[in-house]
Amino acid sequence: MEKLQQLYEGKAKKVFETDDPTLLIVEYKDDATAFNGEKRGTIRGKGVINNQMSNRLMQRLSQQGIPTHYVRELSERETLVKRVSIVPLEVIVRNIAAGSFSKRYGVTEGTVFDEPTEEFSYKNDALGDPLMAPDHALAMKLCTRAEMDKIRSFALKVNEVLSDFWRSCGITLVDFKLEFGRLDDGEIILADEISPDTCRLWDSVTGKKLDKDRFRQDLGGVEDAYAEVMDRLLSQDEA
């Protein structure tokens, strides 16, 4: 499968067309951004880790009945995926208070919820990806009510599958962001990536942050944290 014209370059990935109009190639970069692009940097080796981690997690999810865009890993940094039109919503699931939740509500980071929460942000860089009430997403026709119901139930299922898997790796899944897309026939599938860029992952015993918060908060050891999460995933995947 050959990379043809570049369609898009985002903060962490490039996307290319292929000779099959239904398939795209995603290439993961080492570039990191935070706070809506205000903070920029490089996390050496991140692209390789995020590519391989996301692919393994998506395969695990598809075995559990969640349709995903993953087709085949092509190289360390490149993956073949199904072409979708992205639903312009970031779907965030939280198990423990952190990040913008803690900030908005003044809640201590680490407060454990009785049940997971789901929220949406409008995927719009110019507006800074604002939090969006579900009714507003429907009013804006970002998706239909049936699509929203499906997205919400997929997101909760993803949380169950990934929380269990990360727990088996000695890691607590604090929160994460998903993106969904539509195939030509209208089917909703999971797209984008699942990685320490898009999840908060804490060591189950020490609480050490093993995700992009190390970059956001200048905690140091960013590369080591990504590598640590990947090592734990690989030893559990192979077990």
29-67: string of b/e by CB count within 10 Å (b at 16+)? bbbbbbeeeeeeeebeebbbbbbbbbbbbbebbeeeebb
Q: Judged by CB, which is closer to ligand UDP: 97, or 148?
A: 97
Considering the rule CB under 6 A, would residue 223 count as an interface residue with ligand UDP? Answer: no
In the list 69, 77, 200, 232, the residue contacting ligand UDP (rule: CB under 6 A) is 200
| Nearest distance in Å: CB 205, ligand UDP | 20
Q: Judged by CB, which is closer to ligand UDP: 45, or 99?
A: 99
233 burial (CB, 10 Å; 0-12 / 13-18 / 19+) is buried
User: Which residues, 125 to 144, sit near ligand UDP by CB under 6 A?
Assistant: 129
User: Which residues, 59 to 118, sit near ligand UDP by CB under 6 A?
Assistant: 90, 92, 98-101
Q: Judged by CB, which is closer to ligand UDP: 73, or 129?
A: 129
112, 96 Cβ separation under 8 angstroms:
yes
| Nearest distance in Å: CB 206, ligand UDP | 19
Q: Judged by CB, which is closer to ligand UDP: 6, or 100?
A: 100
Q: Judged by CB, which is closer to ligand UDP: 50, or 198?
A: 198
| Nearest distance in Å: CB 88, ligand UDP | 12
Q: Judged by CB, which is closer to ligand UDP: 147, or 193?
A: 193
| Nearest distance in Å: CB 202, ligand UDP | 11
Considering the rule CB under 6 A, would residue 158 count as an interface residue with ligand UDP? Answer: no
Please give the Cα distance from 217 to 71 (Å, whole number).
34
**Candidate segments 14-22, 54-62, 80-88, 170-178, binder of ligand UDP by CB under 6 A:** 170-178
What's the token pair of residue 97? 């208070």
Give the Å distances, CA to CA, from 91 to 28, 40, 175, 196.
21, 23, 11, 16
Q: Which amino acid is at 33?
A: T
Please give the Cα distance from 120 to 179 (Å, whole number).
10
Beta strands in the chain (DSSP E): 6-9, 13-17, 23-28, 31-34, 39-42, 70-73, 78-82, 85-86, 89-96, 112-122, 131-132, 171-182, 188-191, 199-203
Considering the rule CB under 6 A, would residue 198 count as an interface residue with ligand UDP? Answer: yes
**Contacting residues toward ligand UDP, per CB under 6 A:** 90, 92, 98-101, 129, 175-177, 198-200, 212
